[in-house]
Amino acid sequence: MAIHSQCVVLDGKALATLNEASLSARVAALKSRNGNRTPILATILVGDDPASATYVRMKGNACRRVGMDSRLVTLPANTTTQDVLAEIDALNADPDVHGILLQHPVPAQVDERHCFDRISTLKDVDGVTSHGFGLMALGEPAFGPATPGGIMRLLGHYGIDVAGKRAVVVGRSAILGKPMALMLTNANATVTLCHSKTVNLEDEVRRAEVVVGAVGKPKFIRSAWISDGAIVIDAGYHPGGVGDIEHDGLIERCAAVTPMPGGVGPMTISTLIAQTVEAAERGNID
Ligand code: NAP
């Protein structure tokens, strides 16, 4: 085992706190330009999943910390697709709302893709619409999904350039793994996107100079698979503050590691807030 003397801890919590100061100043400037009208991030929460309720509460608190407002639309678990679409239409038409979030996952009877695609691209601050996703994939200006977007901001803040590096992303969900692979590709990494049908995942991870765990299984990626000197990003989150990567010994021999907790999670919320402020600054004007 090589000792890597200068492992950089990618402190998402500290960066998110740092970002809040400049976001607060931007919100204050917006309000003074707009007759004191407060920008709003609206969230639609369908059903009663306690984890989703917690995430929504955290996002609302983060809005208020920078002087924005949040608006919560709660719908019962038996809500139909049409009900959700009607709420989205109302929020799209409301000039006070600058960002719209439909909290994932929605109950099975709701057509999530259809609902996501109803969100105005201008208010799609979590990059969930097909159009917004396509723009992001093409490297055009767009709000990408907040979690991979937050990871790219974190890497950028610490001056980590992934260009030319072999990156392995484990997990290909639409909100995390797939856009992560595209963002890394757009940043000139050479990317392998792994999933449940990948053969010899361990070998793929061993070859990686950048590893992103986005698999949704606690400590699924073993520390022994990770090469000395790698940049390790753990996007997973499980009860007890455990991620998708086993962290044992990584800090002694890797180039950079996200702590768990306090790495990717705070950057997701910070990115969402930053993208909502940006949408408000643009004034939702086509
Ligand atoms: P998801 O939708 O369940 O996707 C999991 C992915 O992992 C799928 O692509 C799946 O492959 C892949 N996978 C499952 N078993 C595998 C295996 N044995 N080998 C290789 N790949 C496998 O999860 P998600 O929503 O992307 O979330 C992933 C993790 O990130 C979770 O821990 C979640 O809590 C966390 N998360 C954190 C934040 C944050 O803000 N910190 C935000 C979002 C998610 P298939 O496609 O083949 O099924």
Which residues, at least 6 apart from 113, have a Cβ–Cβ distance to it below 8 Å? Answer: 130
pLDDT of residue 5: 63
In a domain, 78, yes or no: yes
- For residues 151 and 257, state if they share a domain: yes
In the reported structure, the alpha carbon of residue 41 is separated from the centroid of ligand 1 by a whole-number distance in angstroms of: 26
Q: Does ligand 1 come within 6 angstroms of the Cβ of 105?
A: no
Is 6 a residue of the active site?
no
Q: Which domain holds residue 175?
A: 146-265
Amino acid at 275: Q
In a domain, 278, yes or no: no
Is 109 a residue of the active site?
no
CATH number at residue 52: 3.40.50.10860
Reported as a pLDDT band with limits 50, 70 and 90, residue 3 is low
In the reported structure, the alpha carbon of residue 255 is separated from the centroid of ligand 1 by a whole-number distance in angstroms of: 24
The residue whose CA has the least distance to atom 16 of ligand 1 is: 196
* pLDDT tens-digit series, residues 143-161: 999 999 999 999 999 999 9
Number of structural domains, the chain? 2
Nearest to 206 by CA among 225, 228, 193, 229: 225
Q: Does ligand 1 come within 6 angstroms of the Cβ of 169?
A: no
Reported as a pLDDT band with limits 50, 70 and 90, residue 285 is very low
| pLDDT of 4 over the 70 cut | no
* pLDDT tens-digit series, residues 222-278: 999 999 999 999 999 998 889 999 999 999 999 999 999 999 999 999 999 999 999
**Backbone dihedral angles phi then psi of residue 62, each to the nearest 5 degrees:** -65, -40
* pLDDT tens-digit series, residues 177-187: 999 999 999 99
Per-residue pLDDT, averaged over 74-87, amounts to 98
Q: Could you tell me the maximum CA-CA distance found in the chain, to the nearest angstrom?
A: 60
Token code pair at residue 8: 């950089």
In a domain, 156, yes or no: yes
- For residues 154 and 220, state if they share a domain: yes
In a domain, 220, yes or no: yes
Q: Does ligand 1 come within 6 angstroms of the Cβ of 260?
A: no
| pLDDT of 50 over the 50 cut | yes
More confident residue, 6 or 147: 147
CB 70: neighbour CB atoms within 10 A?
Answer: 20
**Backbone dihedral angles phi then psi of residue 279, each to the nearest 5 degrees:** -60, -40
Shortest-distance atom of ligand 1 to CA 197: 47
- pLDDT over 70 percentage in the chain: 97
In a domain, 194, yes or no: yes
In the reported structure, the alpha carbon of residue 122 is separated from the centroid of ligand 1 by a whole-number distance in angstroms of: 27
Q: Does ligand 1 come within 6 angstroms of the Cβ of 196?
A: yes
In a domain, 275, yes or no: no
Report whether 244 contacts 214 (CB < 8 A). yes
In a domain, 108, yes or no: yes
CATH number at residue 220: 3.40.50.720
In the reported structure, the alpha carbon of residue 67 is separated from the centroid of ligand 1 by a whole-number distance in angstroms of: 33
Q: Does ligand 1 come within 6 angstroms of the Cβ of 55?
A: no
- For residues 175 and 115, state if they share a domain: no
Shortest-distance atom of ligand 1 to CA 55: 40
